[in-house]
A = this chain, B = another copy of it.
């Protein structure tokens, strides 16, 4: 009774609820994956925990082969964990309330606001209902399209299941595949390439962008956010595809020996996948160091806010670039498309980048102590986990029993959001004192 009162006095903050929600689902997932009915092979608790974390955080790093180590039941568990993790347990919670006919309370609205990164409260409920319909429709349409390839190959029931699994995994940017070489055998298949990338790009660009595209037809009515996301995503993707092609065209282990048509499909897919999708149609263990460096950069950026993607986000990167250019040009305000970006947003972006980089750096440092693996592979793995991307040069199952929890921690922080975590640790009242200006030199 006393305890309950105490809990009421100090309610959990939204980020704490978010984090505890994820932890609960991961724990539940771990137990379910350990059930004999879920798996075909012996599985350690750590590996089950790792797999559940990877699924709920929609990362896709794996320590056992998804297609062979798990039964259809186990794979279905994974698919559900991915769906919950991707759309957000929050959205699910709210949708249940909506479907049960209850009115949404203010506290839950604030919760959603944090989770979806929305600044204004109006329209949140409508937004979430809309995104739920959107997600399910996209996944079902994609399942139908993917069946065209996989039903002839695997029969109706298995073909349908494989199609559904990959549709859910793609839309939620989870990167889990039932094939042991991800999508490598379909590297030159236009249907698979197009359906999968369309899914993960529309899942990753952010629901507010999708929502706006569906409801407003004219460019000038869109928010600055939508404009920047669309143009930023387009430019980054073009840059990534071209770079990949140039860097790998002479590498005989990847696209070097392929006909041009396959080279282009390979570059297209590998150009898009690092910003949190995590499927691969070529083997990252065979790629040049330069390609791995480029991929690390793309994995750190990630895709859009309020999406199934992680990373620092495209907008954060662009705001920082705009702020630096504005500073160099002696301007005291940052703007884009004739709209002003407030200083507070710049400082927020700065904080996201600094905290993110700090977390990844500390993790890499710890891994350099605990793991006896090539540094390039370790650095790649850490950025992949933090961006919840799931690409790997192939060392995930070789990580030590300290290395795996470090990577799990990165996936968790990456998905919940480094700023969300930092906020919940550091919140305090602003002071009412004003201080005189101090003299300080930098750089």
Contact = CB atoms under 8 A, between A and B. Distances in A.
Interface of A: 117-119, 206, 208, 223-225, 228, 247, 288-290, 292-294, 297, 305-306, 312-313, 315-316, 319-321, 323-325, 327-333, 335-352, 354-355, 361, 364-365, 368-369, 374-376, 417-419, 422-423, 425-431, 434-443
Contact of A339 (B364, B429, B437): B437
A96 to B, nearest CB: 26
B327 A436 contact: no
A13 to B, nearest CB: 13
A440 B347 contact: no
A306 B342 CA distance: 32
B340 A436 contact: yes
Contacts of A117: 441-443
A137 to B, nearest CB: 24
A202 to B, nearest CB: 17
A335 B228 CA distance: 33
Contacts of A369: 247, 288, 290
B289 A331 contact: no
A358 to B, nearest CB: 9
B329 A427 contact: yes
Most B CB contacts (10 A, CB to CB) among A351, A368, A440 go to A440
Contacts of A429: 329-330
Contact of A328 (B343, B375, B427): B427
Contact of A337 (B306, B368, B438): B438
B224 A438 contact: yes
A434 B440 CA distance: 29
A315 B364 CA distance: 25
14 contacts: A206-B441, A208-B441, A247-B369, A290-B365, A323-B351, A327-B351, A329-B429, A338-B435, A338-B436, A340-B438, A341-B438, A343-B347, A348-B443, A349-B442
